[in-house]
Amino acid sequence: MKKTVNVAIMGIGTVGGGTYEILTKNHDFLLRTQGIDFQVSKVLDKNIDRIRYFGIPENKAAATVDEIAADKSIDIVVETMGGVEPAKTFIEKVLLSGKNVVTANKELISKHWPALEAAAKKGGAGLYFEASCVGGVPIIRALQEGLQANHITSLVGIINGTTNYILTKMTEEGMSYDDALKEAQQLGYAEFNPTSDVEGFDVAYKLSILASLAFHTCVPYQMIHREGITKISKADIKAGLELGYRIKLLAIGKRKGNEIEVRVHPTFVPAAHPLASVGGSFNAVYVNGDYVDDLMFYGRGAGARPTGSAIVSDIVYAAKASGPVYSDFENNGQKADDIVIASDFSSKYYMSISVKDVPGVLAAVTGVFARHSVSIESVSQRSFGSGAAIVFLTHTASESDIMAAVEDIEDLDDTNKVESLIRVLA
């Protein structure tokens, strides 16, 4: 028996337009395969020209969010406005009116998930956000419904298409960071202000969501160690390739007992690792569970069509669900009392140091490493003029020992500075 479900879309930009396109062009397919007649009955956007651009009849344009909240015929509301406000206020209003909400807004979910879920519970509505992380790749559904039998021990991913595109261009074509960023902006992968992407904020928001779901406890985004890619040079990439590594901006989440490690930073990935071959704007998440072992989820991480696909997946899920499902942990935005977020962790490290080309400088640096219990796997030195660059690859060491060594190395008389410090994926 056919079921009609009315949908409203708040924000009809790139992603909202992609969602509208799927719901209209694949209408008959969804009706045949899912038994649901999806109708986009209202669209809210302050720019009427965008509504016209997508061929949406103007009689479907809503004047305010109150109009959508008050319309009892609307079952599901899609939010694709982005940002925190007014999206948060709008979503809370429609959730409290009893309407299911589907959103792709990772910043909003990572910062205000508890408040939104509280509004959903009060209104008896569902909150769905598959599209908030990794575009069209169904990683959230997998964590919530495919891997329940497992304790997830680690989650490592390339979950930002902009930075992966930039690093791929620098690696494969020898581009500078500035040139690769400019090309990413021209192609629409990077915003005019790329800070959220290139400084790792976008990845931290997503990791907060994914780690909370994977580890069944609240992982606040503010507690995630975060570094971006703006300091990565062509020299670093070349040295990494010579050592058998490709550089990626990784989101890393690990849990052992009640200790959780969450960090975002550029990482040298061994060439044989599946994540090393993930190029361009593609994303991938590598998950380990205690019974399923290793899994990798791979696909397009951004764009109107992949993100629209994930949104429509949530729309279908919400339309067919017997009732909403909420977090399976205390979702109050705070770290649980019994959980420890690691302030220290272990890794192998790549370090490039500029020094004066004088006798004894290498011995002085290695002496610092020895004092801080850092063992050296390999070392190379290149001279230029009156200076030199020494590149070290360490064995596994603690972050605290490495940082203490960096401070002491920069205090040596014959060293200038630590130019690069890049962690290596074990």
Which domains are assigned to the chain? 3-132 (3.40.50.720), 139-300 (3.30.360.10), 346-424 (3.30.70.260)
Please count the helices (runs of H) and the strands (runs of E) in the chain. Answer: 15, 17
Q: Supply the pLDDT for residue 248.
A: 98
Is residue 83 scored above 70 in pLDDT? yes
Q: Is 59 helix (H, G, I), strand (E, B) or coil?
A: helix
Task: Catalogue the active-site residues.
Answer: 206
Is residue 44 scored above 90 in pLDDT? yes
Q: Is 328 helix (H, G, I), strand (E, B) or coil?
A: coil
pLDDT tens digits, residue range 138-151? 999 999 999 999 99
How confident is residue 188, by pLDDT bands cut at 50, 70 and 90?
Answer: confident
Are 412 and 368 in contact, with CB atoms under 8 Å apart?
A: yes
Cα 216 from chain centroid (whole Å): 18
Is residue 385 scored above 70 in pLDDT? no
Q: Supply the pLDDT for residue 415.
A: 76
The phi, psi pair for 293, rounded to 5°, reads 70, -135
Q: Note the pTM of the prediction, 2 decimals.
A: 0.94
- The whole-angstrom separation of Cα 209 and Cα 297 is 16
The phi, psi pair for 337, rounded to 5°, reads -60, -30
